[in-house]
Structure 1
Amino acid sequence: MKPFETTIVVTEHDLDDLNHVNNVRYVQWVNDIAKQNWEQIAPPTIKEEYFWVMLSNHIDYKQAAYLNDTILIKTYVSKSEGVKSTRIVEIYNKDTSKLLAKSETNWCLIRKKTQKPTRITSEIRDLFL
């Protein structure tokens, strides 16, 4: 499957005291694009029954982003087994194509009715292929 992509423009709200994008903002972008991707590809019947929670996140910061930079964010699922899924997020400066950060995040599928982890079905796994 082609990676899911979105673009954003850095605003003052994204900046830290050093006038570059705050590291916390990158974590928010990782969460946001995962949610956007799920909302776009999952049919309503699946979204009514399941949701994802973030278990762990590792980000390698490569370069800084600054006010008014246009940011390209790409994501794809690299592995899904049992109750866990691993999602990769790459964050680029769209104008220079330079990689700013790369994240590997582990997510757990939760059944809404029980609020407990549940095995990833083949139907859900196929959404990400």
Structure 2
Amino acid sequence: MVQRAFHHPIGIQKADIDHMGHVNNSVYLKWVQDAVVDYWSKVAPPEAVARHLWVALKHEISYRRPTFLDDVVVADVIADRVQGARAFFTTVIKRGEETIAEVKSVWCCLDAVSQKPARLAKDVVSRFVPGER
């Protein structure tokens, strides 16, 4: 069964807050990386997790609202598509129903041993992306 959106809770640390009193923009990148990797580790079969690593190639972040230390925040990750060794994700960071940031990212799947790009098996891809075979 394909899980359309994966919910990843985010813990905001005091060190995430910048001189303006809100979460520094650079912290969002760590949140996205943590959320996507967590999604992969929860949905992929254990043998696929052991054989593959992920590296981010591109992040495009649209910031909507500032985030503060006491906010309760979640990242909803959606795998949009897989093309060869690349995977395209959308991560929406929310405070309740309010979207505070939306991130489009491209990732490369690597073989864990050689660290060279690796295509995922079709049965693994189908766990993430509806209609992908």
TM-score normalised over the length of structure 1: 0.91
Give 1:78 shift: 0.4
For 1:1-129, what aligned pairs fall within 5 Å after superposition? 1-94=3-96, 97-129=97-129
**Amino acid aligned to 2:18:** D
2:70 is paired with a residue whose SS is coil
Give 1:14 shift: 1.5
The answer to whether the Cα contact below 8 Å between 1:85 and 1:107 also exists between their aligned partners in 2 is yes
The total of aligned residue pairs comes to 127
The answer to whether the Cα contact below 8 Å between 1:54 and 1:107 also exists between their aligned partners in 2 is yes
Q: Deviations over 1:31-73 (max 9, x none)?
A: 0001111111122211121111111111000110112011121
Quote the RMSD (CA, aligned, Å). 1.3
Q: Deviations over 1:70-99 (max 9, x none)?
A: 1121001001011101011000112xx211
Q: Which 4+ residue blocks in structure 1 deviate beyond 4 angstroms?
A: none
Q: Identity of aligned pairs, percent?
A: 26
Give 1:6 shift: 2.1
Give 1:2 shift: 2.6
CA distance in 1, matches of 2:113, 2:6: 28
TM-score normalised over the length of structure 2: 0.89
- Taking structure 1 as reference, are residues 9 and 50 closer, same or farther at Cα in structure 2, changes over 3 Å only? closer
Give 1:9 shift: 4.2
The answer to whether the Cα contact below 8 Å between 2:51 and 2:113 also exists between their aligned partners in 1 is yes
Structure 2 residues without counterparts, runs of 5 or longer: none
Q: Deviations over 1:96-127 (max 9, x none)?
A: x2111000110011112221102232022112
**Amino acid aligned to 1:33:** A
Structure 1 residues without counterparts, runs of 5 or longer: none
